[in-house]
Structure 1
Amino acid sequence: MRSRELGWEDEIAAAGEYVVVDKNWIEGKEIHEPAVWNPVQQITTYLETLFEASENVGYVTDTWQNDDGKYLPTKGAWDRTAGELIQRLNQSNGDIGSVLGDYDPAAGAWIRFNPLDGKGVKNENVTEFRYALVESDTMDIEKQNAIMRELELPIAVLVYSGGKSLHAIVKVEAANYDEYRKRVDYLYNVCKKNGLNIDNQNRNPSRLSRMPGIERNGKKQFIIDTHIGKTGWADWHEWIEGINDDLPDPESLTDFWDNMPKLAPPLIHGVLRQGHKMLMAGPSKAGKSFALIELSIAIAEGVKWLAWQCTQGKVLYVNLELDRASCLHRFRDVYTALGLQPHHISNIDIWNLRGKSVPMDKLAPKLIRRAAKKGYIAVIIDPIYKVLTGDENSADQMAHFTNQFDKIATELGAGVIYCHHHSKGAQGGKKSMDRASGSGVFARDPDALIDLVELDITEELLKQEENKAICAVYQKFFDNFNPEYVVNWISQDDQLSAKAMEDHAKRAIPGQMAAVQETIQQAVRSVRIRSAWRVEGTLREYPKFEPVNMWFQYPIHKVDSVGSLKDIDPEGDKPAWQKAVGKRKDNAKEQRRSKAEEFADAVNNCNMGDPPTLKDLSEWFSSTGKTIAERTIRDWVVKFGYMIDKNNGGVVVKKEDDDH
């Protein structure tokens, strides 16, 4: 197939163009008249191949001429069965006219290839939609024959019309008329793409075709072959779809063992290569969009993103959610918060599509066309729910959706990075690849899955972080207004204590205390509003990395380089042993509660509402088949808060203090 540039409205379809043969190069295949001309054998072979003995057959031997002198068929006959016709033809001594009626040798004769109901010859009279007619008269007979065979059409009977075309009776095996139309449309589309231009009138299931065993203008209409190509429609359809898969041929490992191809260069070192795909998953408050903006900047400037060095290059950020102004402001705000100078902002292109986004299978070709010559090493799409097509819980629909990212990555040679949300509920107890919402395809498809899960920050940790932030404020003021004091008077221990630093500040920089307190308030507020996150990953190309802990302090993420978060569990997470203990305790409580309720029910009912004796209760519980001794009942009396009234023959009553 020839390649071409994608058009504006083109879709990247999964199927190929269905081109099997090049009609300009294919060699023709000759046809040959039968060595012995036997019209009865020709017609009976046709009938036996296409019809059951009990099915009605439509045929035409009578004709009329229009104003141009062209012979046209009448409606003909339709009320005789294939079995009846075969029997009478075999008894005709070769006189087919005595069975079918005499035909005009200048016009020939016709036959219908689908069975009828015996009441007429219209489409509604067709009882089985088995066959369709494939006929093309725009090329040599020999080439028609070759192309039909090369296409592996499931042909039941191939007939020479005695004119400019072959008539292929092709198995479509449709269940009803609607399916018949769809299959014939598909069949004709494949034929046309391979050079067989078919008259659309041929698509009718009640269509007439040339009858074999007939002479027309001195030429014979005859069967060329039967049962050609694939055995049926399903086999042919599967084959024609597979033959156009555009897949490469298998390769021998020995050809490359000593000369391995180069690996794609890294995009995010230790995580993702160029031309590969990465999914970032996390809940809505994780700041995923900010993280992707940080990644865009890291690639543009060639610096670290979180814990990983990025290769420098051009990046396209596809903004599907924010309005244009907000998106541009975010980029500048993140640059500022990261403390980076915008030396290479020309490496960042932003495609703002809020309010203009289309489904991913429509967006992909448009994106490829715009990005083809820009030299991007990364394409970031944020967020994917805006372009999601199909049910996110359907594996096959999501496979089609994620295939669009493959096409972008392959066509551009760029890393494709996109984000998706977590499913509902606590995520800490799940594996990283099980947290993304929807089908498991989301987790299995990308080459790198980066997952963000929130950490459950304790009040103790927040106090420690506040102390650090306050000490940092004091240190900054000392550096600006009395740096020598730090060297001479403040110990390392004091530098880690907010109270000690406050005492030093009152002595060394008393005039700045108001400004210090205002700055401290801002620092404490920043600590209180930030959240903590753990980054985990599932990688295809690189070894698994150790989880990375970080703070999200609007508008950027900062890696926890000092280890404050290493021992913090994700929200909803507990160690396995702790979960097991909790489960056992819950089960035990449930069992105790149900036994107590069962015992109370027995006390209230086993003696018609009066306080029962131990014997009454023993008989009550033993009625289920298992004998319960009175000593066991006595134990239950104590266990479930009852007592035995010794003054009244051992009657069980509720303890008074349990009634409150």
Structure 2
Amino acid sequence: MYDLKDLLEYIDPAQLSYQEWCSVGMALKQEGYMASDWDSWSKADSRYKPGECFRKWGTFRNENGEAPVTGGTIVELAKRGGFSPSKGRDYALNWDSTISDDGDKIIDSGWLEDKEIVEPKNWNPIQELITYLETLFNSSENVGYVTTVYHGEDGRLSPQRGLWDRTAGQLIAELKKYNDIGAALGDYNPEAGAWIRFNPLDGEGIKNENVTDFRYALVESDKIPPARQNAIIRELELPVAALVYSGGKSVHAIVKIQADDYSEYRKRVEYLYKVCAKNGLQVDTQNKNPSRLSRMPGIMRKGHKQFLMGTNLGKKSWDEWAEWIDAVNDDLPNPEELSDVWDNIPPLADCLIDGVLRKGHKMLLAGPSKAGKSFALIELTIAVAEGTRWLGFKCAQGKVLYVNLELDRASCLHRFQDVYRALGIPAKNLRNIDIWNLRGKSVPMDKLAPKLIRRSEKKNYDVIIIDPIYKIITGDENSADQMANFCNQFDKICTELHAAVVYCHHHSKGAQGGKKSMDRASGSGVFARDPDALLDLTELEVTDNIREMLRGKAIIRGTEKALNEFVKDWQNDVGQDDRLSPTAMQEYAGSKLDFDQSSKMAEYVSTEIAREEHCTAWRIEGTLREFASFPPLDLWFDYPIHRPDSYEVLKDIQPDDGDPWIKRKQVFAKQQQKKGKETLDMYLDALEELMPEGTDSITIDELAEVTGKSKDRIRHDFKGSKRYPGRAKTLQKEGYKYVDGTPKEPAKVIRINPDNE
């Protein structure tokens, strides 16, 4: 068995979420430790509050048969911090151990072995310098180097400006010709050594603006022994083009940066130095300029060799190395075998909204403007806080954080009060609602998420509602990858706080009825596919008949309100059928109320009618990941709340499909149908007039004169055409047939018997 107090040394409380911190306390209590043990360890966290551990300790109980949190939790957290069960305490991470921002180690400096630097025995300085030049430069590129020094104010030998007028190809040729570095590059001071610039120059100078290609950066440190520098550089797999021992206290790594310009060079060098620092290699930041000097291999310095330790080490390129660093630093869990958990599968999260959303999951409410989305989210806030229903769905009672990004503080607070009153719910649990007003202070979601998590860690929220998200979107909402990164912030909030996240977004432009509910939200399809529950609001176009029926209902409500106020036991005088009739109700009320009471009733009726006329109709459809989809839910937005369509008058309305071409085709078809019927009626009326009883035929000339139609048009209508194929059949059923003319006889319409022609 482990001493859990010893294992706590491996766990940094500042790196834990609130729930993990509580789990440590639960485990200590379960295993028989004292609250003071938990309190002493917790003091290392800046969030520590005196007395909180002791207050929380008393609430830890093993109830309802739930499995207790045991010491195994602390062991697992200690492993994450570097504890090795097989080695025990002697192998704890020391204070120099490097841990990434995400908690994953790139290099554990407590375990890293130094890599000694051994001077080469068969040293060939000329060939080393040639190899260096061939590795870093093209033959036509100018190289800057320094072999001359001066005495600085501190008495040290420092490099002068040097030369930059020769190419790598020229230097290599000189080295091969003379087989002597001094003869090729100039004599150097063996006490100081010599230097070389690792990026190509334009031949005009040695400043940053003279660099022609931002190809390499220098990683050099003299704060730790060279053997440790060598080990870290190689363990980090830096994309090193050339590694040179300085002959003194440092190793010089010429690292492939491969930047397109100076701006990108600076960003990559900052990132490179940051990674090195996190892993125990404190880089000399004075060397970050692209025109900086580095130690030249093949040179003697104070009796020691400046020599080439290797070329093209580590990863092949900057991109490959950066991807590798990201992979090492990921915070992904390891795969688990299903067989290991088959008999102990964790329970599903409890429902927050019955049949719609579980605790710790995500929900998106989408809809067009003026759908009352913000009011719907306030209604949801109240429903969770009070443990009531939302749009007909039962909600579990809990604590809510409402993040207001759009309204000023006063307007937001008034809305909550207005919605409470309109719902008719007593405000008994206002302590369950926190409002974070951020209008004018909102930041992009990737910056907001950590701030939100930090403020919420100890609040135990069951749901966090963010309204609306367009205020905090980062990037292009039509970009799938950018919106995936945006939506990942919601996952972080859910994971860190174990709370559901609910947010709303607007529809794309145009009518939406012809689209699937998950395709209506504006921007990338990620919005529809990311949440565990998507509820979509679509407006319904209310017909005049429905409005008239609702007007009648409003008259009845206003009348009943007056009768309730002025007439005692009026229900006993009015039958059930009459109570459904506006006319009958008003006639009864007129017989019972005096002038003043009737005036009051008129006010009530007028208010109810105005309310009904201003209501808009909506349909909610759900796309759910955890539950079967529910039947479409029809609602009225009766400002400031949504109410169910209790009269069920909306169920047969189809949302506007939004396709203007289809609508034009439908209108045209109706017009043609009407026009066709008018043409048929005209023919039949004309034929009845021209062919009285006993007349078997008339000429086309006669029919054309009466109808005003051309003879060709009459022939097409009576014989049939592609445009009007049904017209000829109808005329034949009525007993008329077209007969073509001959040289002796004109074309005619004759009377026939359709049944036995």
TM range (shorter): 0.7 to 0.9
Partner of 2:679: none
Partner of 1:126: 211
Partner of 1:235: 320
| Pairing partner for 1:253 from 338, 354, 371 | 338
1:518 and 2:600 are equivalent in the alignment = no
8 Å Cα contact 1:279/1:420 also seen in 2: yes
The worse-fitting range, judged by mean Cα deviation, of 43-52 and 514-523 is 514-523
User: Given the superposition, is the C-alpha separation of residues 17 and 86 from structure 1 closer, same or farther in structure 2, using an over 3 Å criterion?
Assistant: farther
The worse-fitting range, judged by mean Cα deviation, of 580-589 and 270-279 is 580-589
Displacement, 1:310? Answer: 0.5
8 Å Cα contact 2:557/2:605 also seen in 1: no
Q: Residue deviations 1:549-596, cap 9 Å, x none?
A: 0111122111124422111222456999x869628849999xxxxxxx
1:412 and 2:500 are equivalent in the alignment = no
SS at match of 1:191: helix
Displacement, 1:472? Answer: 4.2
Partner of 2:164: 78
User: Given the superposition, is the C-alpha separation of residues 486 and 573 from structure 1 closer, same or farther in structure 2, using an over 3 Å criterion?
Assistant: farther
| Pairing partner for 1:534 from 609, 619, 641 | 619
The worse-fitting range, judged by mean Cα deviation, of 527-536 and 117-126 is 117-126
Q: Superposed, which structure 2 residues align to 1:436-515 within 5 Å?
A: 436-474=521-559, 486-487=571-572, 490-506=574-590, 513-515=598-600
Q: How many correspondences in the alignment?
A: 592
SS at match of 2:403: strand
User: Given the superposition, is the C-alpha separation of residues 497 and 23 from structure 1 closer, same or farther in structure 2, using an over 3 Å criterion?
Assistant: same
8 Å Cα contact 2:510/2:658 also seen in 1: no
8 Å Cα contact 2:554/2:609 also seen in 1: yes
8 Å Cα contact 2:557/2:608 also seen in 1: no
Structure 1 gaps of 5+ residues are 9-13, 590-629, 641-660
8 Å Cα contact 2:357/2:626 also seen in 1: yes
Partner of 2:380: 295
Cα separation, 2, equivalents of 1:357 and 1:114: 44
User: Given the superposition, is the C-alpha separation of residues 509 and 168 from structure 1 closer, same or farther in structure 2, using an over 3 Å criterion?
Assistant: same
Displacement, 1:462? Answer: 1.9
Letter in 2 for 1:319: N
Partner of 1:619: none
Displacement, 1:475? Answer: 5.1
What's the TM-score, normalizing by structure 1? 0.81
Displacement, 1:269? Answer: 1.3
Q: Residue deviations 1:617-656, cap 9 Å, x none?
A: xxxxxxxxxxxxx999x979x999xxxxxxxxxxxxxxxx
SS at match of 2:621: strand
8 Å Cα contact 2:559/2:604 also seen in 1: no
Displacement, 1:478? Answer: 6.0
SS at match of 2:269: helix
8 Å Cα contact 2:353/2:393 also seen in 1: yes
User: Given the superposition, is the C-alpha separation of residues 287 and 55 from structure 1 closer, same or farther in structure 2, using an over 3 Å criterion?
Assistant: closer
8 Å Cα contact 1:16/1:241 also seen in 2: no
Q: Superposed, which structure 2 residues align to 1:84-483 within 5 Å?
A: 84-92=170-178, 95-474=180-559
User: Given the superposition, is the C-alpha separation of residues 67 and 564 from structure 1 closer, same or farther in structure 2, using an over 3 Å criterion?
Assistant: closer
8 Å Cα contact 2:561/2:604 also seen in 1: no
Partner of 1:21: 107
Partner of 1:552: 637
8 Å Cα contact 2:515/2:657 also seen in 1: no
Partner of 2:666: 582
Cα separation, 1, equivalents of 2:428 and 2:712: 88
Displacement, 1:230? Answer: 0.6
8 Å Cα contact 1:32/1:224 also seen in 2: no
Displacement, 1:302? Answer: 0.6
Partner of 1:647: none
The worse-fitting range, judged by mean Cα deviation, of 506-515 and 490-499 is 506-515
User: Given the superposition, is the C-alpha separation of residues 475 and 61 from structure 1 closer, same or farther in structure 2, using an over 3 Å criterion?
Assistant: closer
8 Å Cα contact 1:423/1:437 also seen in 2: yes
Cα separation, 2, equivalents of 1:306 and 1:513: 36
Letter in 1 for 2:583: K
Displacement, 1:301? Answer: 0.8
Cα separation, 2, equivalents of 1:206 and 1:147: 25
Cα separation, 1, equivalents of 2:159 and 2:269: 24
SS at match of 1:180: helix
SS at match of 1:78: strand
Partner of 1:656: none
Cα separation, 1, equivalents of 2:468 and 2:307: 64
What's the TM-score, normalizing by structure 2? 0.71
Partner of 2:705: none
Cα separation, 1, equivalents of 2:240 and 2:412: 60
SS at match of 2:649: coil
Displacement, 1:535? Answer: 0.7
User: Given the superposition, is the C-alpha separation of residues 531 and 129 from structure 1 closer, same or farther in structure 2, using an over 3 Å criterion?
Assistant: closer
8 Å Cα contact 2:219/2:283 also seen in 1: yes
Cα separation, 2, equivalents of 1:138 and 1:588: 91
Displacement, 1:438? Answer: 2.8
Letter in 2 for 1:333: D
8 Å Cα contact 1:18/1:241 also seen in 2: no
Cα separation, 2, equivalents of 1:527 and 1:586: 32
The worse-fitting range, judged by mean Cα deviation, of 439-448 and 453-462 is 439-448
State percent identity of aligned pairs: 60
8 Å Cα contact 1:147/1:194 also seen in 2: yes
User: Given the superposition, is the C-alpha separation of residues 125 and 587 from structure 1 closer, same or farther in structure 2, using an over 3 Å criterion?
Assistant: farther
Displacement, 1:506? Answer: 4.8
8 Å Cα contact 1:15/1:241 also seen in 2: no
SS at match of 2:231: helix
Cα separation, 1, equivalents of 2:206 and 2:443: 48
Partner of 1:49: 135
8 Å Cα contact 1:58/1:79 also seen in 2: yes
Cα separation, 2, equivalents of 1:28 and 1:485: 98
Cα separation, 1, equivalents of 2:660 and 2:177: 90
1:32 and 2:118 are equivalent in the alignment = yes
SS at match of 1:427: coil
Q: Residue deviations 1:372-420, cap 9 Å, x none?
A: 2111111112223333444433434433433333332222221111222
Letter in 2 for 1:64: Y
| Pairing partner for 1:60 from 141, 146, 166 | 146
SS at match of 1:281: strand
Kindly report the root-mean-square deviation, in angstroms, between the aligned alpha carbons of the 2 structures. 3.6
8 Å Cα contact 1:19/1:193 also seen in 2: no
8 Å Cα contact 2:104/2:331 also seen in 1: no
Displacement, 1:36? Answer: 1.4
Displacement, 1:534? Answer: 0.5
Cα separation, 1, equivalents of 2:593 and 2:712: 82
8 Å Cα contact 1:159/1:166 also seen in 2: yes
User: Given the superposition, is the C-alpha separation of residues 263 and 156 from structure 1 closer, same or farther in structure 2, using an over 3 Å criterion?
Assistant: same
Structure 2 gaps of 5+ residues are 1-10, 18-45, 48-99, 674-710, 724-757
User: Given the superposition, is the C-alpha separation of residues 631 and 450 from structure 1 closer, same or farther in structure 2, using an over 3 Å criterion?
Assistant: closer
